[in-house]
Every structure is written in C-alpha cells, then in structure tokens.
C-alpha cells in the first residue's frame, strides 16, 4: 500500500490502558457496521475478557467483527473465548500459529506486531498498547508505560483498506473479507496524517526511512521514547549529526526493563551517542513500552514499531505520523513530564582511552548496526498465513 499525506484529521493522544481501553471499548460498543482489530497480544485476563464482551455484543447485534491476533504473542486463547465469538458470527484469525518443540516456542521472527482498530471506517486506533492487564497501573511494578492515538479523518479509510487487504492476502483459500470500496470521509480536524507500515516484501524500511527524514530536517529538537532501542547505523548517525548541529536530541529508554537484554543492548550505544551531545534518560518508574517521537514543533509519530532489529527488519509494524502543532505540543508535554518526574539522566562516561575489550565491543556493535538490515534479508521468509477459527458446527465464522 502506497501511503501518502492526507489532511483533515482530529487526533487524540491516549496514555496507558487507563485512557486507551475505555475509549476502545466505547468505540466497539457504538459500532454499527464493522469492527476490524489487529493485535500482537490478547490475553484472557480482565482486559481481554472486557474486550471479548464488547466484541461479542457487537457481533450479536449484526456488526461484522474481524479480529486478528499473532500466534506467538497470543498463543493460549481457549475454546470458550474463541467459541463464543465465532458462534456470534465474529471472524477470528491467527497469524502464523506458534509451534512448540518440547514446550518451547522458537518461531519468534517475522511476527505480526501491529496494534490497529478500525470502527465503521470513521475512527481508528493505532499505537503500542496490547490487550492485556499489564497496561494498567494496578498490575503493579511491571505495568507498562505506553501510548496510542484515536484518529478521525481520511486516513482511517486508508488504514481500513490496508487491514482488509492483509486479511485477503493471509487467507489463501480466499474466504476472507471482500475487497474494500473507497468511502469518502469528511475532514475532522486540522492535522495532516500519514499511515506507514513495515513488511518483508515491498515496505522493508518505510518506518525507519520516515524517522531518518524527520531527523535530517530537524532544527530544534528530536525527542524519542522507545522501549527497545538498537537502531541501524544510518539512524544513529542522523541523531549524532543532529546533536552536533545544535538540535536538542533526547532519548527516553528503559531503566526498569521488562526484558533486561533490551537495556543491555541499548547501553552499548550510550557513549557512542553521548559524545556528540545526545541526552539519554532512563525511565525508572516501570517498564517503558512506548514507541513515540516528536521532531521540532509539528512532526510526531505513534505506533507499534520499536527502533530495534526485530521491528525495523523483521516484524510487521504500523505507525501513524502526524503533522500538527497542537498534537506535537501535547506529546512533548507528556514526554517532558516523564523525563522530569520519572527518569534519570544517564551521566556521560569520563573521557579516556578505551580499553582493548571496550574497543573490540564497540567495533563489533558498529558493524552489526551497519549491516543488520542486510543480514535480516537472509533469514527465513514466507508469505504471511492466517488461520480462521471455525464455529463449533465446523463452518467458518
């Protein structure tokens, strides 16, 4: 799908599950015709069952409901959860059901990592928040910090066409949703928006490319909050060059990671970035799961894509980029509060001649960063496959 900038959008920033889940459930409950949902993780916890109730009620009143989950991220949905939805007419699709060998899942590569919801072709949600209770503060110290947007305007139909096309491609038997027809959408606000995806065929680096374009053009600031930060050489070089020309470059990264290896990998880059003036802030209140950025006074992005090899070179991802001063200012205020209240700024290491081990480590990291996208192309690749869950009578929902 060839994305393009479209004008006429209203965009609402949603922080964490406390804001996101009520907005999503209300939208589904008000749906009249169609609900399309894609998510990496859907668990049978209080959030998953609340989503289930909203989807079930919508399906029973005649709304066409399509739900796609990733087979690795959502491996344990039970017969009751699936059966009630399919019996009501909802269509449940699993992206590449995960295989287990001696109880262990190894097929972690090239997963469907998008988080998208489209309701009645008029409202879309895009971001990094999964349907699980660990996106709520009452989950405890491991509750995630994350963001999403609710957007209205012409780009919603573009997102809808993308999601329906993904269903058609994934079902080789051809019984998925019929082709989408373009629907005129009235302007809803002042923001311009661009829907950007990453796949393993035609759009290998679209999300990273748009980041790099924004970084190259930055004149005032680049603030990035990203959970898993280990980007390619070109993006790192862009950040360093921006800092050298006086741009306020700040990274908000994990200080209390849900995956310790993520912090360890990112920390290998700290000195490389700091010596050119990049500020690094570690978020220490709870695990950071966000994937957002603000550049200058009007460019901002929210989505599912981390800045690491999995997201930039392997997984299927989706971001929305917004050009709007009001939205950029709102997201900037959120990030500034995060840095002020819940982050520690990482002190720059003292200058000195690096030791032999540090020199070797830095050289290895440099060359991995420089070439990982090319190496990723050699990893196993396949046409994405969706499996439709049948009703109890054996028929497809």
Summarised one tens digit per residue, pLDDT across range 178-228 is 444 556 677 889 999 999 999 988 898 999 999 999 999 999 999 999 999
State the DSSP string of 20-59.
Answer: HHHHHHHHHHT-SSEEEEEES-B-SSHHHHHHHHHHHHHH
Averaged confidence pLDDT in the chain: 90
Report the SS3 class of residue 178: coil
Q: Which pTM value belongs to this model?
A: 0.91
109 vs 392, more confident: 109
Residue-level pLDDT at 263:
85
Q: Which helix (H) or strand (E) is 252 found in, with range?
A: strand 248-254
- According to the CATH classification, is domain 6-197+383-388 in 3.40.50.2300? no
* Burial of 134 per CB tally in 10 Å (0-12, 13-18, 19+): buried
Confidence of residue 101 (pLDDT cuts 50, 70, 90): low
CATH class of 206-376: alpha beta
Please list the active-site residues.
113, 115, 120, 289, 291, 296
Residue-level pLDDT at 85:
97
Q: Alpha helices of 113-259 — where are they, by DSSP H? A: 155-170, 206-217, 233-244
Summarised one tens digit per residue, pLDDT across range 353-375 is 566 776 777 667 766 766 666 77
Distance CA 291, CA 315 (A): 14
Average pLDDT of 225-247?
Answer: 96
Confidence of residue 117 (pLDDT cuts 50, 70, 90): very high
**Which region among 40-49, 108-117, 129-138, 205-214 has the lowest average model confidence (pLDDT)?**
108-117
Residue-level pLDDT at 147:
98
With contact defined as beta carbons under 8 Å apart, do 200 and 110 qualify? Answer: yes
Using only C-alpha atoms, the chain has a radius of gyration, in whole angstroms, of: 21
Confidence of residue 176 (pLDDT cuts 50, 70, 90): very low
Residue-level pLDDT at 182:
53
pLDDT at 5 over 60: yes
Instruction: State the residue for tokens 């990723």.
Output: 376
Q: Which helix (H) or strand (E) is 181 found in, with range?
A: none
Confidence of residue 102 (pLDDT cuts 50, 70, 90): low
With contact defined as beta carbons under 8 Å apart, do 156 and 189 qualify? Answer: no
Summarised one tens digit per residue, pLDDT across range 40-86 is 999 999 999 999 999 999 999 999 999 999 999 999 899 999 999 99
Q: Considering the chain, tell me which residue range(s) the CATH 3.30.870.10 domain(s) occupy.
A: 6-197+383-388, 206-376
Distance CA 361, CA 289 (A): 27
Confidence of residue 257 (pLDDT cuts 50, 70, 90): confident
Residue-level pLDDT at 386:
86
Residue-level pLDDT at 110:
85
Residue-level pLDDT at 175:
44
* DSSP state for residue 218 in the 8-state scheme: -
Summarised one tens digit per residue, pLDDT across range 270-313 is 998 999 999 999 999 999 999 999 999 999 999 999 999 889 98
Q: Which of 145, 166, 133, 175 is nearest to 47 (CA)?
A: 133
Instruction: State the residue for tokens 């609402």.
Output: 12
With contact defined as beta carbons under 8 Å apart, do 70 and 39 qualify? Answer: yes
State the DSSP string of 300-346.
Answer: EEEES--BSHHHHHTSBEEEEEEE-HHHHHHHHHHHHHHHHHHEEEP
Distance CA 204, CA 198 (A): 6
Give every CB contact of residue 270 below 8 A, 6+ residues apart in sequence. Answer: 280, 346, 349
């Amino acid at each position: 799908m060839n994305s393009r900038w479209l004008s006429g959008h209203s965009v609402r920033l949603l922080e964490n599950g406390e804001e996101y889940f009520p907005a999503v459930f209300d939208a589904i409950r008000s749906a009249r015709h169609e609900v399309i949902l894609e998510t990496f993780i859907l668990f049978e916890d209080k959030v998953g069952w609340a989503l289930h109730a909203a989807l079930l009620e919508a399906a029973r009143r005649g709304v066409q409901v399509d739900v796609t989950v990733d087979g690795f991220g959502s491996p344990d949905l039970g017969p009751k959860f699936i059966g009630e939805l399919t019996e009501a007419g909802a269509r449940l699709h699993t992206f590449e059901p995960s295989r287990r060998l001696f109880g262990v899942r190894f097929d972690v590569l090239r997963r469907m990592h998008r988080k998208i919801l489209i309701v009645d072709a008029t409202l879309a949600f895009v971001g990094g928040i999964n349907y699980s209770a660990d996106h709520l503060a009452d989950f405890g110290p491991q509750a995630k910090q994350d963001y999403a947007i609710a957007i209205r305007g012409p780009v919603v139909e573009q997102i809808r066409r993308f999601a329906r096309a993904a269903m058609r491609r994934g079902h080789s038997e051809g019984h998925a949703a019929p082709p989408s027809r373009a629907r005129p959408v009235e302007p809803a606000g002042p923001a311009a928006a661009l829907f950007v995806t990453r796949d393993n065929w035609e759009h290998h680096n679209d999300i990273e490319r748009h980041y790099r374009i924004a970084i190259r053009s930055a004149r005032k600031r680049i603030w990035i909050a990203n959970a898993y930060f280990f980007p390619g050489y070109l993006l790192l070089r862009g950040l360093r060059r921006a800092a050298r020309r006086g741009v306020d470059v700040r990274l908000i990264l994990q200080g209390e990671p849900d995956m310790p290896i993520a912090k360890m990998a990112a920390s290998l880059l700290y000195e490389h970035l700091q010596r050119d003036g990049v500020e690094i802030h570690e978020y220490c209140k709870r695990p950071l799961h966000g994937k957002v950025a603000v550049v200058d006074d009007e460019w901002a992005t929210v989505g599912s894509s981390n800045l690491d090899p999995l997201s930039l070179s392997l997984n299927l991802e989706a971001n929305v980029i917004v050009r709007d001063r009001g939205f950029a200012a709102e997201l900037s205020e959120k990030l500034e509060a995060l840095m002020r209240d819940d982050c520690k700024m990482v002190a720059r290491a003292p200058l000195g001649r690096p030791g032999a081990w540090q020199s070797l480590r830095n050289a290895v990291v440099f060359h991995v960063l420089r070439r990982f996208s090319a190496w990723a192309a050699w990893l196993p690749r396949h046409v994405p496959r969706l499996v439709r869950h049948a009703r109890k009578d054996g028929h497809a929902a």
